[in-house]
Structure 1
Amino acid sequence: MVTVYGHKIHIYEEGSGKKTLVFMSGGGTASPTLDFKSLYSLLSDQYHVVVVEKTGYGFSDITNTSRDIATVLSETRQALKNARINGPYILLPHSMSGIEALCWAQKHPEEIEAIVGLDMATPNAYDGYPINFPLIKLAAYAANRGMTRWIPNLAENDAIKYGSLTDDEKALYRSIFYNRTLTTNMLNEIKMIKQNAKRIGKSTIPETNYLLFSSNGEGTGCSEKKWRCIQRDFVQSTKKGKLIELHYSHYIHNLGYDRIALEIKNYLEVLDQSLEN
């Protein structure tokens, strides 16, 4: 636990390799540390794995701070600094945090070695994207009053159903879920996401190394055709991008973690060789 601007932020570390992999969760993921475990447990034998749980997520404090992209990024970077975890980093953003990762690479390119997108969102993903905020607020109201406990299946996410979590870890994830469902921070993120995406989209795509894993669109709110196009268009607009299309739903790291881990290791080995040359 580190203190950032008066609030506690939880950082999980595993492994001790030369490269530091920073996992960044998608919007509304109750326990990022457990959500990514199936994947990072296959990578920590070679790499230093880090999961930063943003405010409102996992074991971090719930706050009412602004969720504009500059503030979110500042908190993440300061948390790493306070934990004495130095870059350069390889970012592994899932879903909404793709916007933060791109902002990071735009503002501080010297800190980023590569971005490995785990079905990450790009600015274009939010063009015309429908967000029913009144319904989301109603769901948050129900969650805050414990009504989600009446529907046990809500806590059975992909990490629990398909990942490699132990029984104790599954029980812990369920407990965290009931305490971190649509928190104030998560709601404020949803309010700001289109504005944040538009802001990042106005700037040029950062010149870094990209490896993107794309889902079939299920769980993204987009059709498979549209989601594939968003991912392909982004990679084609980069100078050093590679796309791997998978036939899994949005939380690909809980469904295809064996293949994804192998592809990441192969990619980073090739990247190392190119940097040496």
Structure 2
Amino acid sequence: MKIPGKLVTVNQHQMHVYYQAAGPLRPTIVLLAGSGTACPTYDFKALWQLLKKDYSIAVVERPGYGWSEITEKPRDVDTLLEETREALKQAGISGPFIPAAHSMSGLEAIYWAQKYREEVSAIIGLDMAVPAAYEEMALPKAFGLTVCIGQILRRPIATAMVRSHSAVKKGLLTKEEQDDMKQITAQQLLSKNMVSEINYVKANAKKVAGGACPQIPVLCILADDKNNLKNIPSWGKIHKEYFAANQQTEFLELTCGHYVHNEEPERVAKAIEEFVN
């Protein structure tokens, strides 16, 4: 199976970084996947193929995702962030960066700006989470059973997920890429590291909440996803409350599902271009 990007060694395990450079003077947008997105590089393709001509694009796949190996390291936000930073460094990609974070990885993007302000010039939220989102969230009572069943049924679930993926429906993936996405999804779906991230998420949110709201430009793209709103009814409200302390925040509300970069890639790409420019 062909690896689309580059494998780098971080904490004695390999991480996959996909990168397309658009020139030394163009900003680097770092795409960070949400929880459970088994094949981030191809999941983000609908978006990065629209942005790659004007911006340098990097997709950093966390351990247990995509072509990255499983790690024994804890999934606390400090470890997640340092792995991302080191993977970029080992891949020869320098900042400043614009993290474009989907869902749970919003915590990492905010923490990055809190801890290393000089490395982050802006944040793009792809229906990303803010710390308060996890105050309302509770793990399903049968979470462990769901994980076990999902792991047993990885292959048929992976086949169905890839077949229905918007990048496949839009014809953005070659037959080889579709086969690779199916294989990677079957391999990584509900990986040990994915499950561990979920178990750490409340502690990570609490740590990020303890820092100040970053005072940098933020584009916060929000979806009215019914499933998300069912679990966290105040989704949009808590984002506006969190970023109320930052006068450089722009909001874009879309009528679509949680994976805004797949469902509305053209609108998201246009918003990003206007925001960055």
Q: Distance in 1 between matches of 2:127 and 2:29?
A: 16
Q: C-alpha displacement at 1:164, in angstroms?
A: 4.7
Range that drifts further, 62-71 or 231-240 = 231-240
Residues 220-265 of structure 1: per-residue CA shift (max 9 Å, x gap): 2546852221222233231210000000110010010001111111
Counterpart residue number, 2:255 = 247
> Relative to structure 1, is the Cα distance of residues 154 and 44 closer, same or farther in structure 2, using a 3 angstrom cutoff?
closer
Matched, 1:185 2:193: yes
1:136 and 1:225, CA in 2 relative to 1: closer, same or farther beyond 3 A?
A: closer
Tell me by how many angstroms 1:144 deviates: 3.5
The CA deviation at 1:165 is 2.5
On the 8 A contact 2:30/2:97 being kept in 1, the answer is: yes
Residue 12 of structure 1 corresponds to which residue in structure 2?
Answer: 18
SS at 1:96's partner residue?
helix
* Structure 1 pair 163–65 and aligned structure 2 pair: CA distance change class (3 A): farther
1:75 and 2:83 aligned:
yes
1:93 aligned to which of 82, 98, 101 = 101
Q: 1:203 matched to which residue of 2?
A: 211
Shift of 1:26: 0.1
Tell me the equivalent position of 1:226: 234
Partner of 1:35: 43
Q: What SS is found at the alignment partner of 1:220?
A: helix
Identity, % of aligned pairs? Answer: 36
AA at the equivalent of 2:138 = P
**1:159 Cα deviation (Å)?**
3.5
Q: Which moved more, 1:19-28 or 1:218-227?
A: 218-227
2:145 matched residue in structure 1: 138
Aligned to 1:60, which of 62, 68, 83?
68
Q: What is the distance in 1 between the residues matched to 2:236 and 2:81?
A: 27
Q: Do 1:158 and 1:255's aligned partners in 2 also have CA atoms closer than 8 Å?
A: no
TM-aligned CA deviation for residue 155 of structure 1: 4.4
Which amino acid counterpart does residue 143 of structure 2 have in structure 1? I
The answer (yes or no) to whether the contact 1:140–1:181 under 8 Å persists in 2 is: no
Q: CA 1:268–1:154 in structure 2 vs 1: closer, same or farther (change >3 Å)?
A: closer
- Secondary structure (helix, strand or coil) at the match of 2:98 reads strand
In the alignment, is the contact (CA less than 8 A) between 1:214 and 1:228 conserved in 2?
yes
Aligned residues: 267
Instruction: Provide the secondary structure at the position in 2 that maps to 1:245.
Output: strand
**Cα contact 1:102–1:200 (8 A) shared by 2:** yes
Equivalent-residue separation in structure 1 for 2:20 and 2:183 (angstroms): 23
Which AA in structure 1 matches 2:29? L
Return the alpha-carbon distance in structure 2 between the equivalents of residues 138 and 198 of structure 1: 27
Instruction: Give, in whole Å, the separation in 2 of the partners of 1:205 and 1:154.
Output: 36
RMSD (Å), alpha carbons: 1.8
Structure 1 residue 156, shift from structure 2 partner: 4.2
Residue 3 (structure 2) aligns with: none
Contact preservation (8 Å) 2:168, 2:178: no
Stretch of structure 1 that moved more, 228-237 or 99-108: 228-237
Q: CA deviation at 1:153?
A: 2.8
Tell me the TM-score normalized by structure 1. 0.90
Name the CA distance, whole Å, in 2 between partners of 1:63 and 1:159.
Answer: 30
Segments of 5+ residues of structure 2 without an aligned counterpart are 1-6
Q: CA deviation at 1:128?
A: 2.3
Once residues 112 and 178 of structure 1 are traced to their aligned partners in structure 2, the CA distance between those partners, rounded to angstroms, is 34
Partner of 2:8: 2
For 1:29, give the aligned amino acid. Answer: T
The 3-state SS of whatever aligns with 1:206 is: coil
- Per-residue CA deviations over 1:9-56 (Å, capped at 9, x if unaligned) read 000012323211100000010001001000010000011100000000
1:203 Cα deviation from its structure 2 partner: 1.4
Distance 2:202 2:231 in 1: 19
Tell whether the 8 Å contact from 1:160 to 1:170 is kept in structure 2 after alignment. Answer: no
Give me the whole-angstrom Cα distance separating, in 1, the residues matched to 2:190 and 2:202. Answer: 18
1:211–1:243 contact (8 Å) kept in structure 2? yes
The CA deviation string for residues 140-170 of structure 1, in whole angstroms up to 9 with x for no partner, is: 323443x233454344454446555224233
What residue is the counterpart of 2:173 in the other structure?
166
